[in-house]
Structure 1
Amino acid sequence: VLKSKDAQVSAGTLNTDGSLVIKATGIGANTMLARIIRMVRAAQSSKPAIAKLADQISSVFVPVVVGIAIFAALIWFAVGPEPKASYMLVVTTTVLIIACPCALGLATPLSVTVGVGKAAELGILIKDADALQLASKIDTVVFDKTGTLTQGKPSVQQVFTQDATSQEHLLALAYAAERQSEHPLAKAVCDYAKQHNTDSIELDSFENIRGRGITATYQAQPLFIGSLQFMQTEQIDISPMERAIQDCANKAWTPVAIALNNKLIGLIAITDPIKPDAKQAVSALTSQGIKTVMLTGDNQHVADAIGKELGIDSIMAQVMPDEKAQHIEQLQSQGLTVAMIGDGINDAPALALADLGVAMGSGSDVAIESSQMTILNTSPMAVVHAIELSRATLKNMKQNLFGAFVYNSLGIPIAAGVLYPVFGFLLSPVVAGAAMALSSITVVSNANRLRLFTIK
């Protein structure tokens, strides 16, 4: 991963070339490495629903086995050959040895431990084992656009002006307002203004309207900067710049409109490049029968262009930050199992509400805390890998449980002597002990096969 001046580097990473001067910004317990270690340990010690079911079965398994051993002893004592006491003791001991619930107890925890560890190797941090199991059931994946499907590094492509407004004055107005905002598009405008040595002017007032834009006052005139939808809400006519707006739509640029004294005076066209593997990720999900949805606050034209390029099934544009959770709830009401992928503070409610919340590691701390999985490398393909690994882990758990149940279902009756009346065969306690050990070894070996999981 290339790093430049003022870039953030994580503890535990290696510098493979050149020299660096690094400033420590936190103690060891607060580093990304420490967070990864804590999350992996917590996930490995947690239990998915299927493991809790196995625990419930195990809780009644022991008394049932003891009951079977006593029942077998009584049968052998009542109708068995001489010496009855000797046969009774051998059968009871053999039943108790072969029915040791080791394999049943190891079946799911080992799969969880190996699966969570493998996920960490792939750059996927899992908070709890339930998330690992739930990912296998996902049938709908909802992507936030900015920073998830796109690189989250918007840049200005072109500046359009109207009437006698100069580009310099337009940029000065935009810069004066946007430098007080934390929005990614605001940062793009400010960077562009700085590159062009824009003059600094002062505004008389400032108000950030979340998800829409900025209102301010310049020389006693109202100033509005934001989306086209925001302009229409403020009763500002956008038709004089219809050609520029259409040009932005054709090129999938996001127009930031600037209006002074209730007249549209210009547009700043911004684009955010799509991540190289975003299309591959959407295609992989579609091939697995998973519906893909894109949620964005961007205008419909830009959203449609990006959605069409990526092959996304459903596009929801001009979504306000506080409406994202409502859209997740709406999908869930249709009986869908929804995963939400996002990175911003405004994604946090949707991440928390979704059946599975997945945060990009480059996103805000609030988003990461609201999610059950964190993608460290910010690649959309990691979502596909998480689902594939989840399915492989769940399959491994079921194989282990099936093997443990089959072993006990066959082993206990044989140990109790059901074959003796027909074949004269009675299992030795020594052989029973070896069989019990072999069953545990089989479960451990099968769980470790997950270490061989490879990305398709």
Structure 2
Amino acid sequence: MIETYYIQGMSCNGCRSHVEKLLREVSGVREVTVELENGKAVIEMDDPIMIADFQKALQKDTDRYLITQEKETKACCNTSAPEVKKKGEGTGVFYCPMYCEGDKTYTKMGDCPVCGMDLVEEVKTKVVLYTCTEHPEIKEESPGYCPLCKKELVVLEEVSSEEKNYQLLSKKMWIAVICTLPVFCIAMSDMIPQNPLMKLLRGTQWNWIQLLLSIPVVFYAARMFFERAYKSLRNRHYNMFTLIGIGAGSAWVFSVLAVIFPQLIPMDFKTATGEVHVYFEATTVILTLALLGQLLEAKAHSKTNNAIKELLKLVPNTAYRIINGNEEIIGIDKIVLGDILRVKPGDRIPVDGILTDGSTIVDEAMITGEAIPVQKEKGDVLHSGTVNGKQSFLMQATRVGEETLLAQIIEMVNNAGKSKAPIQKLADRISGYFVPVVVGVAFITAIIWGIYGPEPSVVYGFINAIAVLIIACPCALGLATPMSVMVGVGKGAQSGVLVKNAEVLEKMTAIDTLVVDKTGTLTEGSPSVVQIVWEASTKKEELLSVLFAVNQHSEHPLGAAISQYAKEKGAEKRAVRDFEAVIGKGVIAMVSNQSVYVGNLELMEEYGVTVSDRIKEVALKEQKKGRTVSYVAVAKKIEGIIILEDLIKAGAKEEIEKLKQKGISVVMLTGDHEKTANAVAKKLGEIPCKANMLPQDKLAYIDELQKKGQIVAMAGDGINDAPALAKSDIGIAMGTGTDVAIESASVTLVKGDLSGIDKAYVLSKKVMKNVKQNLFFAIVYNAVGIPIAAGVLYPFFGVLLSPMIAALAMSFSSVSVIGNALRLQKIRL
């Protein structure tokens, strides 16, 4: 028997695993599944077990967990329970995309307490809700009609947490831009001859205006940077937010003091009119640019789980259930084990099950990656998300919900994505050492000037410390990677190579193994007629017209290929009657009062067609090459065979050789039969290959290579490739493939051409070299600028670097980085 309970007190995946372990130890329990997002525990047991026994087991080493048979929303004991989400409102489970704390999850959208990155919501199969376009307050779990206006209900489209965060950042960005532009214009007006703004107001009054305009930027739009900087200092996990917070914050604090208490500032740091130079424009511009980066990052996060979302689209929202001979429409979540369902022509199969009545052809490309549909008879297994042909049939549900194969593939994509060891950005690694050094230098500068400097020594110490912090502001260091990546990714897009992020480019330079799917990646992905072998007495032109007539009615890919071939050879149209598709064998029809048979050997034998030994020998020889053979008979007399093959893409062999020369090993994986796989591998230069590979097999193979220390790139185009693409260090999708494969991959080749892999490899090498050059510029600039700002030249030359000059130098460093990044526009791929 199976019972459902609810657990309070779980706050992360570690809690979930611990609860499952404790419940499994209860005598009589066969299996336990605990879901963190809704606090649900599904327990399979031999006989009924008292809930007190479960509670006793949970309190074995802690009193934080409480088990109930009713769903509760309040926390138990002294721990925070997960936020309970209503149906249709997402999972309510968030994680850090950098996995700073491993698999730890959170119940609310926010920042990672370690690195400050925005948390990302986990995507899983969820209940679909229906609403009325006229009355959005109506939310039903099943399709139907609005109780108020009787209009048909539609699927409720919810806004993801990532999208809400993006919208909030967009709002903040507009506020920052509106406030920053006038501050920047006021500050830059000094460069205009006879500064016109000074005729309207005095400099001190403009400074007060800049102060007021900077407040919304600092305390609202960019407040998160200072909060993240504080967290990074508290956790001693220094990153770019630390630099932004210290640099921009110091400039703003200094400027505020200069406006409110100008008498504290020495004359050496004032203009000829006695006004103090302020840095509100530096503060607001730095924060606004940083906010733009966060906005672009949020947009990327909103697409992070698109691969899973595309998979979820494969599951229909409703199904047709048969009860006592009557048909009813139900929501997909209402299906239970043993239900009899009707699947209509063209529909997607709702759950895993067994065909109980009828027969059909099912497109299972999402599982096998093969274009040819599979014949299904009574007793055959069916999988959720696969597409039915034009035959209606009945099936019995054997797996529902998260037990279906499609749900398992979704889970594999989820887990594969999380299992990647995130690359720590080079700039952040440098910042880990750079930030403490800069802060230390600024602190030492203030002390030394305070003790040994001229009067007022304390103010001199403060000013020079501020100069150190301003000149060390992370503009150049922060721009080093994103500018190179932005220009490099744009260059790649012009060449048909779409790259998702900088991490991809960094990893691409290190790959040593390329795993390639066969169908649609190395081959065209659909069968084509290679040759027709006729019997000596056959009239070829007349037979081509017969083939064209019969197969133009066929829905099978083989029939479509034969029909297309005959049409291209100039076949004439002929009248056809009594057309019949014999599932799994071929087609029969009457043309010019003669019976025509096109199909496999079983079809010929069934209708008494005698096949000559010569034709059988040729057919067997072609089948050993991995090709498909269809026999043609007219009036029960064999006329020849049609040889079909999924052709290898032009240039595929050359591109593989080119990659081998770069030291990259190439391995082919396919769900196709071994003979076909070996034949293709031989034509591509005897590359290693593995056949009969299901999605989980491809995933396991990638994992095995990675455990050996290999850096693996995976190229594929089908839904069945999605888990392996996500698991690999670099996933490469053919742009001609499925949306799921493209979303699971890190790189997309728009033209579906293997030459794009080499282009992506060259691009990554060039971009990462440019990034390192930029970081070198930024570091050298700081190595020279910081000591000067600290006043190291003052004892020898009497030279001090004012914060104004420090800001100018900071801008110059950024310009040098941008100029170097723009050179990537001229590289050749």
Structures share a fold, TM > 0.5? Answer: yes
CA displacement, residues 64-84 of structure 1 (integer Å, 9 cap, x when unaligned): 534432321211222345664
Once the 2 structures are TM-superposed, how far is the Cα of residue 381 of structure 1 from its aligned partner?
0.5
Contact 1:179–1:187, Cα closer than 8 Å, also in 2: yes
Change (3 A) 1:258 1:365: farther
Q: Secondary structure at the match of 1:274?
A: coil
Shift of 1:186: 5.4
CA contact (8 A) 1:44 1:129 kept: no
Does residue 403 of structure 1 match 2:799? no
CA 1:412–1:159: 2 relative to 1, 3 Å: same
Distance 1:326 1:161 in 2: 45
* CA distance in 2 between partners of 1:306 and 1:111 (Å): 39
Give matches, 1:139-218, under 5 Å.
Answer: 139-152=512-525, 154-159=527-532, 179-181=554-556, 183=557, 185=558, 187-192=560-565, 206=583, 214=584
For residues 710 and 552 of structure 2, the distance between their equivalents in structure 1, rounded to whole angstroms, comes to 42
Q: Aligned partners of 1:283 and 1:43: how far apart in 2?
A: 37
* Cα drift, residue 254 of structure 1: 1.2
SS in 2 for 1:148: helix
How far off its partner does 1:313 sit? 3.4
Match of 1:361 in 2: 735
Provide TM-score, normalisation by structure 1.
0.67
| RMSD after superposition | 4.7
The letter for the 2-side match of 1:362 is T
> 2:521 is paired with a residue of what secondary structure?
helix
1:248 to 617, 622, 644: 622
Tell me whether 1:269 sits opposite 2:638 in the alignment.
no
TM-score (norm 2): 0.40
Q: Distance in 1 between matches of 2:504 and 2:601?
A: 37
1:92 aligns with 2:92: no
Equivalent residues in 2 for 1:16-27, closer than 5 Å = none
Structure 1: how far apart are the matches of 2:297 and 2:828? 21
Structure 2 distance, partners of 1:275, 1:153, is: 11
- Aligned amino acid, residue 311 of structure 1: G
Match in the other structure for 1:70 = 443
Other-structure match for 2:681: 307
**1:249-290: CA deviations, max 9, x gaps?**
79x561336799xxxx98642234433332332122112111
The SS at the match of 1:137 is coil
Distance in structure 2 (CA, Å) of the matches to 1:42 and 1:116: 14
Distance 2:808 2:712 in 1: 46
CA distance in 1, matches of 2:507, 2:598: 45
C-alpha separation in 1, matches of 2:504 and 2:722: 17
Alpha carbons of 1:346 and 1:94: their partners in 2 closer, same or farther (altered >3 Å)? closer
Q: Does 1:444 align with 2:823?
A: no
> In the alignment, which of 459, 462, 477 is matched to residue 104 of structure 1?
477
Equivalent residue of 1:289, what SS? Answer: coil
Contact 2:443 2:465 in 1 (8 A): yes
Tell me how far 1:382 sits from its aligned partner.
0.9
Q: Distance in 1 between matches of 2:693 and 2:559?
A: 18
Partners of 2:824 and 2:746 in 1: CA distance:
21
The amino acid that maps onto 1:68 is V
1:222-275 CA-partner distances (Å, limit 9, x unpaired):
x997899xxxxxxxxxx997742564379x561336799xxxx98642234433
Secondary structure of the residue aligned to 2:503 is: helix
Q: Considering only CA atoms, is the larger Rg found in Structure 1 or Structure 2?
A: 2
For residues 400-439 of structure 1, the aligned pairs below 5 Å read: 400-418=774-792, 423-424=796-797, 426-429=799-802, 431-439=805-813
Cα displacement string for residues 332-381 of structure 1 (whole angstroms, at most 9, x for unaligned residues): 34332222222234433433333322222222233323323221122211
> Is the CA contact 2:626–2:679 (under 8 Å) kept in the aligned structure 1?
no
Structure 2: 5+ residue stretches without partners: 1-294, 305-421, 590-596, 603-612
1:282 aligned onto 2:656: yes
Q: Given the alignment, which residue of 752, 763, 772 partners 1:389? A: 763
Q: Contact 1:176–1:202 (CA<8 Å) still a contact in 2?
A: no
Paired with 2:621 and 2:703, the residues of 1 have a C-alpha distance of: 35
Q: Give yes or no for contact 2:438–2:469 (8 Å, CA) kept in 1.
A: yes
1:215 Cα offset (Å): 5.9
User: Which amino acid counterpart does residue 95 of structure 1 have in structure 2?
Assistant: V
Following superposition, the deviation at residue 444 of structure 1 comes to: 1.0
Greater fraction helix: 1
Rounded to whole Å, the distance in 1 between the matches of 2:684 and 2:475 is: 49
Please name the residue that 1:114 is paired with: 487
How much does 1:312 deviate?
5.7
Query: Unaligned regions of 5+ residues in structure 1, if any?
Result: 1-40, 207-213, 229-238
Sequence identity (%): 44
Amino acid at match of 1:133: E
**339-348 or 372-381: bigger deviation:** 339-348
- 345-354 or 45-54: which moved more? 45-54
Distance 1:98 1:382 in 2: 42
